[in-house]
């Protein structure tokens, strides 16, 4: 069987899997399941385009048609990329840890957390300090990473492509894989890794051509590791560069080798120092295994390493992010291709990250952890392009096969990106996979929590309650789920239910201040302030500077006409948080009951000074006009 026929069969099978999933969702192929969740007309369009692509592959395409293509200039490609990244941005953030990242950005605790990606977290926090909202910060970080990636594709193509057609083929492979979803306003820390990995590979190619000293890619890898510790899996590729250079020069300069290797830890440690990151603290804080158990699952692992479920998820991951590599693999059967340092370097660069992604434990589920597991995708995608060029020597056949694979991959990725740009479709897919995928109890409960967060943001309270209740049913000992349900019931005016869930949260975690405050507020609303006071006082014993609890305790005393104590705690609330507008309003109202008009006016004027758009601003202005 010739190469073209193999490619046609592979492409037809790959596109056919997408169509199959419309009728057979239980097959569990989440790597190609996107067509199941889109509208009928998009399904019809995909089937039509797939058929057209296979038909075009069967036809003889005139080579001059491709030779007339101009290699894209940088400004045009970047402008096109920006329009795509913004126009098809992710509608919701249920994949990955999007909502968790937003919450930690809003709370200002991101860089205080010792996690796997200290430099990425610092960059996000620094960008957020420019007065952007947390969501805008995350989206901007994603899009800027994508622009950087697209910018780097051009020098890579120019370096590796021997002619215009080869450059276009490499570019087509680089701008069509599924991992490009990371650049479409996708909120996570991984997006910046991919352009830096591409830059590291570019430095590696230049080193193999003796255009760069080895310390350059070593320094860049030293920068990559603080961006995310998983990039340490590229270390063997740096050693390979040293070996390849030594072979080309027929000698190994030990002094040069030691200097080059020394640059990497020095760069990493200097960045740790600047970021005030302490590796020992990080190691002590780490809990649970990052790797799958060999034979039996655990509470935080969905399956053992040696299981069909794991193999299924691993295959789905590759179908999602590197379909071009899978479509090139059928061409590998037959005569061996000559060895090449570029391809060998790419294979070594991909092998260890791929092994890490195979051994790694997808703690929140493989379909959500697809981004963390995608690190091997850049070298594998580049390897596929180079392998195709060397395997198919006939230029016309090379064009046809490259067109087939690039178009099929592009169609797949466009469908994936388009699905995530549509809130209803992406929500439907997430809900379905949350119920049917291979997930640990931890992953499934956390997944329902993320869904509940999304519903809360949408104002869909009943659905949020159901999602959080699902999370609680799976993990009844998690205090946050009970606390959030209690808060939602409180906001709905169902105070007795709020008390029940808040008490459950406190039983699990006695120092849970948010639950304590919820409980106190619910008692106050029920007119049982005397019951609220002991809980709120206990909360203040744990955190004497908690402005919100001072405000709640003051409200309890206010309702019991203990005005002196109420004023004291309102003033404490303001002292510990000068932006606590609710405390200002409550204190002003209390002063009004005591006929202390000047103090009331001072409180209300302070509210308008701090926030002219305060919800009760119109009422306050009316009062101020009536009481000059």
d(CA 19, CA 46): 9
Q: What is the predicted pLDDT for the residue at 617?
A: 84
Q: What is the predicted pLDDT for the residue at 487?
A: 93
Residue 238 and residue 221 in contact, taking contact as beta carbons nearer than 8 Å: yes
Q: What is the predicted pLDDT for the residue at 291?
A: 87
pLDDT tens-digit readout, 600-618: 888 888 888 888 888 888 8
Q: What is the predicted pLDDT for the residue at 68?
A: 56
The sign of the CA dihedral 357, 361, 363, 367 is: positive
d(CA 508, CA 475): 12
Closest listed residue to residue 34, CA positions, set 588, 508, 425: 425
Report the residue count for the chain. Answer: 628
Give me the phi and psi of 213, to 5 degrees please.
-70, 155
Q: What is the predicted pLDDT for the residue at 207?
A: 92
3-state helix, strand, coil in the chain (%, to 5): 75, 0, 25
Burial class (CB in 10 A: 0-12, 13-18, 19+), 525: middle
Mean pLDDT, the chain, whole residue set: 88
Q: What is the predicted pLDDT for the residue at 522?
A: 93
* Low-confidence spans in the chain with pLDDT less than 70: 1, 60-74, 110-114, 252-253, 255-256, 284-288, 334-335, 337
pLDDT tens-digit readout, 464-474: 999 999 999 99
Residue 438 and residue 303 in contact, taking contact as beta carbons nearer than 8 Å: yes
Q: What is the predicted pLDDT for the residue at 70?
A: 58
Two structure tokens written together for 31:
């790597």
Question: Which DSSP state fits 131?
Answer: T
SS3 state at 291: strand
Q: What is the predicted pLDDT for the residue at 463?
A: 94
Angle subtended by helix axes 377-391 and 134-160, to nearest 10 = 20
């Amino acid at each position: 069987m010739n190469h073209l026929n193999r490619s046609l069969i592979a492409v037809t099978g790959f596109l056919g899997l997408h169509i199959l999933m419309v009728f057979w969702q239980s097959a569990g192929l989440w790597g190609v399941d996107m067509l199941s969740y889109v509208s009928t007309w998009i399904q019809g369009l995909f089937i039509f385009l797939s058929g057209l692509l296979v038909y075009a592959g069967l036809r003889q395409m005139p080579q001059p048609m491709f030779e007339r293509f101009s290699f894209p200039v940088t400004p045009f490609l970047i402008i096109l990329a920006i329009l795509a990244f913004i126009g098809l941005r992710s509608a919701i953030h249920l994949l990955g840890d999007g909502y968790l990242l937003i919450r930690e950005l809003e709370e200002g605790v991101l860089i205080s957390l010792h996690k796997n990606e200290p430099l990425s977290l610092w960059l996000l926090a620094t960008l957020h300090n420019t007065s952007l909202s947390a969501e805008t910060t995350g989206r901007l970080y994603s899009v800027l990473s994508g622009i950087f990636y697209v910018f780097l594709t051009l020098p890579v193509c120019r370096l590796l492509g021997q002619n215009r057609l080869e450059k276009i083929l490499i570019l087509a492979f680089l701008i069509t894989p599924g991992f490009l979803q990371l650049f479409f306003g996708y909120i996570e820390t991984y997006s910046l890794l991919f352009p830096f990995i591409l830059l590291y590979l570019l430095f590696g190619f230049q080193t193999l051509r003796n255009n760069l000293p080895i310390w350059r890619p070593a320094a860049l890898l030293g920068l990559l590791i603080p961006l995310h510790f998983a990039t340490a899996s590229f270390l063997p590729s740096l050693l390979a560069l040293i070996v390849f250079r030594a072979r080309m020069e027929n000698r190994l300069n030990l002094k040069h080798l030691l200097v080059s290797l020394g640059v990497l830890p020095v760069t990493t440690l200097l960045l740790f120092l600047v970021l005030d990151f302490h590796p020992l603290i990080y190691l002590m804080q780490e809990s649970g295994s990052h790797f799958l158990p060999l034979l039996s699952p655990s509470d935080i692992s969905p399956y053992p390493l040696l299981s069909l479920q794991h193999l299924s998820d691993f295959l789905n991951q590759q179908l999602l992010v590197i379909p071009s590599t899978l479509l090139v693999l059928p061409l590998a059967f037959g005569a061996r291709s000559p060895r090449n340092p570029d391809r060998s370097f790419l294979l070594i660069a991909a092998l260890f990250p791929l092994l890490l992604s195979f051994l790694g434990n997808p703690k929140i589920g493989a379909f959500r952890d697809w981004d963390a597991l995608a690190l091997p995708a850049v070298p594998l995608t580049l390897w596929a392009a180079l392998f195709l060029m060397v395997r198919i020597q006939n230029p016309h056949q090379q064009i046809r096969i490259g067109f087939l694979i690039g178009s099929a991959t592009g169609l797949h990725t466009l469908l994936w990106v388009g699905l995530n740009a549509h809130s209803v479709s992406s929500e439907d897919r997430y809900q379905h996979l949350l119920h049917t995928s291979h997930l640990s109890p931890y992953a499934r409960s956390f997944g329902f929590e993320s869904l509940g967060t999304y519903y809360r943001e949408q104002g869909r309270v009943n659905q949020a309650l159901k999602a959080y209740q699902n999370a609680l049913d799976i993990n009844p000992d998690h205090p946050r789920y009970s606390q959030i349900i209690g808060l939602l019931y409180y906001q709905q005016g169902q105070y007795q239910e709020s008390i029940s869930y808040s008490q459950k949260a406190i039983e699990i975690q006695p120092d849970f201040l948010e639950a304590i405050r919820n409980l106190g507020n619910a008692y106050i609303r029920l007119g049982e302030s005397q019951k609220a006071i002991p809980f709120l006082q206990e909360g203040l014993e744990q955190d004497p500077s908690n402005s919100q609890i001072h405000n709640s305790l003051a409200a309890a005393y206010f309702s019991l006409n203990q005005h002196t104590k109420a004023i004291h705690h309102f003033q404490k609330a303001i002292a510990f948080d000068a932006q606590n507008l609710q405390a200002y309003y409550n204190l002003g109202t209390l002063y009004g009951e005591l006929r202390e008009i000047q103090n009331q006016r001072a409180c209300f004027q302070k509210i308008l000074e701090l926030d002219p758009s305060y919800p009760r601003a119109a009422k306050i202005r009316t009062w101020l006009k009536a009481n000059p």
